[in-house]
A and B are shown apart, each in its own frame.
Chain A
Amino acid sequence: MSLDSNLPQNASPAPLGPAAAHHVSPVVAFKYVTLAFDGPPVLKNISFSVAPGETRVLLGPAGVGKSVLLKLANGLLRPDKGSIQLFGEEISNMPEEQLFPLRTRIGMVFQEGALFDSLTVRDNVGYQLIQEKVPDDEIDARVRQILSFVGLERTFAFYPSSLSGGMKRRVAIARAAIRQPELMLYDSPTGGLDPVTSTTIIELIVKERDVHKTPALLVTHRLQDAFTMCTHYYDQEKAAMLPLPEGQTNPNTTFLMLDEGRLIFDGTIHDLVHSKDPFVREFIE
């Protein structure tokens, strides 16, 4: 299969491809990051970066440290060794108080949604705005707008307990995206969902990538989700995710693969499908 990076005119690609991405300062950069809990290291000498406009899909089987890596990216965990730069600032030893303002620039979607179960969807999605004391009318308007982005306007006054698993993830995406973050972190957003709901979630992620051009780091163990992201684009006119023409892929969606705490692959979909690494081959086949 010949893989071409050209997109259709209405595909709204992110502004930078991987080649260009390496010449601008990255949004997130890991350099030789190692982390252990009680035992052998969970992550060993991890180095990679996410450039503006780039979506990096972190692949790997369950339990190899993908979620841990994601939590390192916004300082929820601290590395034992190495350096992590977020928006150009070194965060590996940054005090928690200084991290809070940086985190407001990031949207994070947790594995199970992590919605506040004592708050309504409105208060969950508008949580940051409420903390910033934005007027109620403006919060309502912005929450309704982002809920319509994820197709859940009618859940405005619901509590998380009355939502399905897929709806919770969509609300979590709305909460993460409401302030138009400069980076999105997705932790297994389709884990445990049925194929139809998974496709809905991936469509939202592609929509966020192509409409708002938000750089992202996405963790998944589902190869089909990763390939869907690479081979589809969001058409704003048709308001739907559509496949790219045969042989074309999104140039700003690239892949990382972890195995036993080590980064064993970093490259494009073309590199991935042609990799000779036995673990990569086993994983994709």
Chain B
Amino acid sequence: MAIISIDRTAKQLVLTVQEYSLFAWRAFQNLYRPPIYWTDFLIQSDVIGFGSISIVLLSGFFTGGVLALQSAATLSAFGATAVTGRFVAITMIRELGPVLTGVMVSGRNASSMASELGSMVVTEQIDAMRALGVDPIRKLVTPRIFACITMLFFLTIVADAFGIMGGAFVTVFMNHQDGLQYFSMAWESLRYPDILQGLVKPLFSGYIIASIGCFYGLRTSGGTQGVGRATIQAVVWSSVFIIVADFFLTQILLAIFPT
């Protein structure tokens, strides 16, 4: 009985991976094949980009602040609190900015995409769209992926900037250190490969968030309960994949741009 259950689960997993791969490939191909629904792209950019700015801004600012607090506490043991700016800037730009923004945007937007498309599936609106001769992947998925990739890129820059500002706030007002020193250390330590690393990652995270959110939304079954399940799966898997992708991307980028 247990073997049958394992067998069924394994088959289900392989089927899901296969379906997601085909779906993601089709959605990716649509990124550069007309017709591209520019109006839908702009609407989704507003929803994803402008809609997420407050959470990205706050999480970036306080993460930078926490980094400054923690690093100053550790660095003070070596009399090196002056390098707090360098520590915060590199950590935020190379790692925490992209990953944290990805996870925050995933929590907000992968869930909204899965629930919106899932509700459309259970009310037959997706079938109605197909029956009207409109491709739901092209109309609903591709603009979301395109918008998510574009907006996540800019949101990551916002998170990086506010993270560094958060670190500066803590350094100046709580640790009573020199702000100019903080910013000059941050500026001097940054190299172009660091910035490149930080800006490549959101392109992949954006694709992961939108494709997984839409994938689980469009394969919703089982009514309103199914919509709830799809939403949970979308958030969980997109967050996990962002971190997994970050691990592999970091390895590749470190191999290309060794420190």
Contact = CB atoms under 8 A, between A and B. Distances in A.
Contacts of A223: none
B135 interface: yes
A100 B133 contact: yes
A110 B130 contact: no
B251 to A, nearest CB: 37
Contacts of B132: 103-104, 127-128, 131, 175
B124 A112 contact: yes
Contacts of B125: 114-117
A108 B135 contact: no
Interface in A67-106: 71, 74, 76, 96-97, 100-104, 106
Contacts of A96: 135
Contacts of A185: 131
Given A114-B123, A114-B124, A76 B131 contact: yes
A112 B131 CA distance: 15
A10 B124 CA distance: 38
Given A97-B135, A131-B134, A112 B128 contact: no
Secondary structure type dominating chain A contacts: mixed
Q: For this complex, into which size category does the number of interface residues on chain A fall? A: 20 to 34
Contacts of A175: 132
Interface in A246-275: none
Residue among A97, A110, A114, A175 with the most chain B CB within 10 A? A114
A103 B134 CA distance: 9
Contacts of A112: 123-124
A111 B124 contact: yes
Contacts of A116: 125, 128-129
A133 to B, nearest CB: 9
Interface residues of B, number: 12
Interface in A156-173: none
B127 interface: yes
A187 to B, nearest CB: 9
Interface string A234-245: 000000000000
Interface string B99-133: 00000000000000000000000011101111111
A108 B132 CA distance: 8
A128 B135 contact: no
A100 B127 contact: no
A114 B129 CA distance: 9
B130 A103 contact: yes
A266 to B, nearest CB: 25
Contacts of B133: 100-104, 128, 131
Nearest to B35: A131
Contacts of A74: 131
B128 A110 contact: yes
Contacts of B123: 112, 114, 117
Contacts of A131: 132-134
Contact of B127 (A71, A104, A117): A71
Given A111-B124, A114-B125, A116-B125, A76 B130 contact: yes
A262 B128 CA distance: 26
Contacts of A128: 132-134
Interface in A193-252: none
A27 to B, nearest CB: 16
A100 B128 contact: no
A108 B134 contact: no
Contact of B134 (A76, A100, A102, A111): A100
Contacts of A127: 132, 134
Nearest to A131: B134
A163 B127 CA distance: 21
Nearest to B123: A114
Interface in A116-152: 116-117, 127-128, 131
B135 A76 contact: no
Contacts of A104: 132-133
Nearest to B124: A114
B134 A110 contact: no
A96 B135 CA distance: 8
A110 B135 contact: no
B159 to A, nearest CB: 30
Contacts of B135: 96-97, 100
The 6 closest A-B pairs by CB, nearest first: A104-B133, A114-B128, A114-B124, A108-B131, A103-B133, A100-B133
Given A71-B127, A74-B131, A110-B127, 11 more contacts: A76-B127, A76-B130, A76-B131, A97-B135, A100-B135, A108-B131, A117-B123, A127-B132, A128-B134, A131-B132, A131-B134
Interface of A: 71, 74, 76, 96-97, 100-104, 106, 108, 110-112, 114-117, 127-128, 131, 175, 185
Interface of B: 123-125, 127-135
7 contacts: A97-B135, A100-B130, A100-B135, A104-B133, A108-B131, A110-B128, A111-B124
